[in-house]
Amino acid sequence: MPPFRLETLLEATDTASREAAWAEFVSEHSRLIIHVARDLFKQHDGAMDAYAFVLEKLSEEDCRRLRGFQNDGRSRFTTWLTVVARRLCLDYYRHRYGRLRGDPTSNGAGERLRARRRLMDLAVSPDGAVSELASADSASAPDAQLRVQQLSAAVGAAVAQLSPEEQLLLKLRFDDGLSGAEIARVLGWATPFHVFRRLNSTFDRLRSALRDRGVEGSSP
């Protein structure tokens, strides 16, 4: 049996051939779509409902979404379909349950602040002095809070000077809290060793940039 061809579905001229091509598409790619749905919906019923939702959206308006695939030889259809299916599953989730747990638009300010302080500790003062300053009572140590704000601004400016890949690396490590192994997988690097080696070189650059700005440690 020849492999399924997307063109057969998109170029079908009559109802019968379109329905046959759609049935073949469903047969060929249902496993993938269910796999994606299960990643978001741990319960079977939720996953199957999401799967049905994805199929409905892919087929509507004469397969409008499927026609968005650029068959330029650079992309694998299955990867593109995984991206689209996951986004549709997220739409379904939000439609059914509201805001997704862990949605960045939800209140994560506390965790972000802690992540920024961890980064500042490593960039400015590995002994954790920045965190100590930050934990000082704001009413009794206004100077400490001012210093933390100054350091935060300096670190932010230094981070902005890094390459996009280094900035992404820091975001994955400190904002998203990923482990070295997880970061290696996300960025497509061979081992966590590559991640930590790059992190070390990034911090060397950060510290150098901070020294250029006159920041040698947590003290003014």
Partner 1 sequence: MTTHVEHIHLDDDGHVPAADMARYVDGTASRDEREMVTHHLADCDLCREELTALRRLVPRRSHLTRNVSAVLGAAAALTLITLSWRGTLASTVDTTRPDSTRASDVVPEIDAPFLTVSPAMDTLIAADRVTLVWRGAGTDVTYTFVVYDESGGVAYSGETNDTLVTVPPAAFKSQASRADSTARTYTWMVQTKLLDGRSARTDPQRLRVR
**Neighbouring C-beta atoms of residue 96, cutoff 10 Å:** 12
| Cβ-based nearer residue to partner 1, 65 or 131 | 65
Please report the DSSP string for 54-86 in residue order: HHHHHHHHHHTTGGG---SSSS-HHHHHHHHHH
Q: 132 or 175, CB closer to partner 1?
A: 175
- The total number of residues shown for the chain amounts to 220
Q: Do 90 and 100 meet the contact criterion of CB atoms below 8 Å apart?
A: yes
> Binding partner 1 by CB under 8 A: which of 42, 74, 95, 101?
74
Complex with partner 1: residue 188 or 214, whichever CB lies closer: 188
User: Is 32 a residue that touches partner 1 (CB under 8 A)?
Assistant: yes
Determine how many CB atoms are found less than 10 A away from the CB of residue 60.
10
Q: Which is nearer to partner 1, 101 or 137 (CB)?
A: 101
Q: Which of 20, 48, 129, 186 is the binder for partner 1 (CB under 8 A)?
A: 186
How far apart CA 63 and CA 9 sit, in angstroms, is: 9
Pick one of 13, 43, 70, 140: the residue that binds partner 1 (CB under 8 A): 70
Long-range CB pairs of 176-184, under 8 A, 24+ apart, other chains included: 177/115
Candidate list 24, 49, 132, 175; residue touching partner 1; CB under 8 A: 175
Footprint of partner 1 (CB under 8 A): 3, 31-32, 34-36, 38-39, 68-70, 74-76, 78-80, 82-84, 86-87, 102, 104, 160-165, 167-168, 171-172, 175-176, 178, 182, 184-186, 188-191, 194, 198
